[in-house]
Amino acid sequence: MAMFKDFDLHADILRGVEKLGFEKPTEIQKEAIPYLLESDQDLIALAQTGTGKTAAFGLPLLQKIGSKESDVQAIILCPTRELCMQLAKDLESYSKFMDRFNILAVYGGTDISKQIKSLRGSIHIVVGTPGRTLDLIKRRKLNLQAVKFVVFDEADEMLSMGFKDDMDAILEATPEEKQTLLFSATMPAEIAKMTKRYMRNPKEISIGHKNSGTKNVEHHYYDVPGRKKYEALKRIADINPLIYGIVFCRTRAETKDIAERLGNDGYSSDAIHGDLSQSQRDSVMQRFRGKQIQLLVATDVAARGIDVDSLTHVINYNLPDELATYTHRSGRTGRANNEGVSIILLSGRDRSKLRGIEKKIGQQVIKQQIPSGKQVVKAQLDKLIDRLEKAEVNENELQEYLPEILQRLNVYSKEDIIKQFISLEFNRFLQYYKNSDDINSKGSSRDRDRGRGDDGGRGDGYRTGPRKRYSRFYINLGEKSKVNPQKLLAVINKFTPEHSIEVGKIEILSAFSFFEVDETQANVINSAFKDAKFGNADIVVKPVAASKSKESRGSRGRDRNRGRGGRRSERGPRKPHRGKGNSSRRR
């Protein structure tokens, strides 16, 4: 079996590797390191994220670059600030025992003047994001004329983020004679075009099949109605008490909404999205890497560059539009020889993508049943007992208080003490899941294969069956009150805390709004808003007669600001949260 010491690496580089505790190289490292140490030929290396690509190109570069030269000799491009910082940190660790070897990371979101000042000194390797690297070239602060090596890391990610023109311009600023290395998880058509244009007779190394998923990851899907996705997410988190993962959403708004709802329900979660400042993003990532956050809710763009080896789960709240993006998502778990699970919450039109995903990753996506309340409770009880068994007992510290404790508990039997302990720790969970229902979709596999759901082909996640009747209400909150559909749902939740109100269509107008509820719950709405306030203003809610309801759909509000309705999810064991559903319902 190959070891790092078997490679023809300088002793100082091996010392850096051994200091990090690395002994056995990964598959991509076994293939790439010997080749790059001996050859000046261009290289295309295809391997999943998290398989050790940095060392695969980084160690040979350190050996081949002369530290006595003062010019920049290698430029490494990567898609995000986080990955840029991580790459530079890894290279610094590998070169820790090398004499006067300097590496600089350049990226946006920070003061460019500090990076310009650093470039005035002797820098051997620059690791940069395409935007900031090109900016420095245009300012004539970064000279790449002495560059001998160009590395594209996560090349497919850079292309998908729209950096093609920047990458082209950076390559134009490098000498014609150089070695170009391209490392990527997938090989889309744009990458193939790029290699033909800029690389000369490149050797290709592929670990696994092109565009396939890592073998350390199991792929599961849960067939769930759209309006029940959030409840399914909570159950999956609850039945995996040690979960540590990323929840992927399609939009910034959805990311914020899901993270806020998880936080309100007492889960250790936060969001990362494009609206965060760099300092806010750094703070979230620091807490996530420190496992103070168990569930990070993110968009694909915001999550690029997140480099965490120990993730247990990736959850696709919605599937991405591009199937290759699913490969990137799932590749964030199952790293460093750990096992991971990629979960899809499947509903609506996403069902039609399942077969394409299986073809892309070369694996079956296994259908799972959303756990029942009893299954969740058992998993949580097992966790509690496990914590109890592993708890450290400090005999010396307890000895002073033990006699009084034993005296007070002497009236209880062993069984009673256990019941009291479990109740103290667990009553909220028991109460929450006491009457939980089955939230799995009832659609057939044939419907799924044809891209249809249990909604009869509409793709909105609703079951077919008897049409419900809805009562329509007026409320004196609208755009001027800074109310949107989600805020209106939150208001309804707030003033009906003991009821699970099913909300239908919502229409937000300028000074007021309309919403529909199941007619069996109309009386609850009629009585819930007496003396209710929104800020300092009184809330007025009135039923709307059927004839007026038809008028309200006229030119005054037709399709303008039509919101999303839905059933409010069951409340968690902590705080109530907002519901969310689908506006293309029951007409």
Q: How far apart are CA 184 and CA 153, in angstroms?
A: 6
Residue 171 has pLDDT above 80, yes or no: yes
Short-list 261, 264, 259, CA closest to 280: 259
Question: In this model, does residue 32 exceed pLDDT 50?
Answer: yes
CB atoms closer than 10 angstroms to residue 237: 22
- Cα 170 to its chain centre, rounded Å, is 30
Q: What is the pLDDT of residue 546?
A: 56
What percent of the chain lies above the pLDDT cut of 90? 33
| DSSP assignment string, 431-458 | HHTTTPPP-S----HHHHHTT--TTTTS
3-state helix, strand, coil in the chain (%, to 5): 40, 15, 45
Q: Nearest 5°: phi and psi at 87? A: -60, -45
| pLDDT surpasses 70 at 365 | yes
Region at 482 (left for phi over 0; alpha for psi -120 to 50; beta for the rest): left
Kindly report, residue by residue over 67-115, the tens digit of the pLDDT: 677 899 999 999 888 889 889 999 999 998 888 789 999 998 788 999 9
Across the chain, what does the average pLDDT equal? 81
pLDDT at 489 over 90: no
Any residues with CB less than 8 A from the CB of 550 and at least 6 apart, and which? none
What distance in Å separates the CA atoms of residue 210 and residue 229, rounded to the nearest whole number?
32
Give yes or no on whether 217-372 and 466-567 have one common fold: no
65 neighbors 145 (Cβ within 8 angstroms)? no
Phi/psi zone of residue 334: left (φ > 0), alpha (ψ -120 to 50 degrees), beta? left
Question: 454 vs 273, which has greater pLDDT?
Answer: 273
Report yes or no: 327 and 361 within 8 Å, Cβ to Cβ.
yes
pLDDT of the residue at 449: 41
* Strand order, beta sheet including 217-223: 269-272, 295-298, 245-248, 313-316, 340-346, 217-223, 366-368
Is-contact 242 390, C-beta < 8 A?
no
| Category of 478 on φ-ψ map: left (φ > 0), alpha (ψ -120 to 50) or beta | beta
pLDDT-based confidence at 498, cuts 50/70/90?
Answer: low
178 against 350, higher pLDDT: 178
Parse the chain into domains and list their residue ranges. Answer: 4-206, 217-372, 374-432, 466-567
Name 170's Cβ contacts closer than 8 Å, sequence gap at least 6: 75, 77, 130, 133, 134, 137, 144
Of 215, 209, 214, 219, the closest CA to residue 187 belongs to 209
Q: Do 151 and 74 touch, CB atoms closer than 8 A?
A: yes
The answer to which of 83-87, 198-202, 304-308 has the lowest mean pLDDT is 304-308
CB 377 within 8 A of CB 429: yes
DSSP strand E in 385-512: where?
Answer: 470-475, 502-508
Select the more confidently predicted residue: 503 or 264: 264
Q: Is residue 214 helix, strand or coil?
A: coil
What is the structure's pLDDT at 441? 76
The CA radius of gyration of the chain, in Å to the nearest whole number, is 29
In whole angstroms, give the CA distance from residue 575 to residue 579: 13
Residue type, 141: K
DSSP class of 465: S
Mean pLDDT of 563-577: 38
Q: What's the pLDDT score for residue 467?
A: 54
Q: What is the pLDDT of residues 325-364, one digit of tens each?
A: 888 888 888 876 788 999 999 987 788 889 889 888 888 8
Q: What is the pLDDT of residue 57?
A: 95
Most confident by average pLDDT, 114-123, 152-161, 440-449: 114-123
10 DSSP 8-state letter: -
Lowest pLDDT segment from 104-113, 363-372, 414-423:
414-423
Report the Cα–Cα distance between both ends of the chain, in Å, rounded: 66
Cα dihedral sign, 37-39-40-44: negative
Rounded Cα distance, 502 and 512, in Å: 20
Q: Give the mean model confidence (pLDDT) for residues 123-144.
A: 95
Name the pLDDT band for 582 (thresholds 50, 70, 90).
very low
- How much is the pTM? 0.57
Average the pLDDT over 44-63 and give the result.
87
pLDDT: which is higher, 378 or 213:
378
The 10 Å Cβ neighbour count of residue 462 is: 23
Q: Could you tell me the pLDDT band of residue 519, with boundaries at 50, 70 and 90?
A: confident
Residue 579 has a pLDDT of: 39
pLDDT for the residue numbered 577: 36
Per-residue pLDDT, 387: 81
State the DSSP code for 123.
Answer: -
Q: What is the mean pLDDT of residues 179-203?
A: 85
Residue 462 has pLDDT above 80, yes or no: no
Q: Are 222 and 228 within 8 A, CB to CB? A: no
CATH number at 217-372: 3.40.50.300
User: What CATH number has the domain spanning 4-206?
Assistant: 3.40.50.300
In whole angstroms, give the CA distance from residue 570 to residue 429. Answer: 13
Mean pLDDT of 385-414: 86
Instruction: Determine the Cα–Cα distance for residues 239 and 388; give it in Å rounded to an integer.
Output: 18
The count of residues in the chain is 587
| Per-residue model confidence (pLDDT) at position 446 | 37
CA 517 to chain CA centroid, Å, is: 33
**By the 8 A CB rule, do 271 and 256 touch?**
yes
> What Cα–Cα distance (Å) separates residue 260 from each residue in 267, 272, 575?
10, 12, 12
Give 274-299 pLDDT, tens digit per residue. Answer: 778 778 888 898 899 899 999 999 98
CATH T-level topology, domain 466-567: Alpha-Beta Plaits (3.30.70)
Other beta carbons less than 10 A from residue 532's beta carbon = 14
Average pLDDT of 170-178? Answer: 93
d(CA 82, CA 56): 19
With left for phi above 0 and alpha for psi between -120 and 50, is residue 70 left, alpha or beta?
Answer: alpha
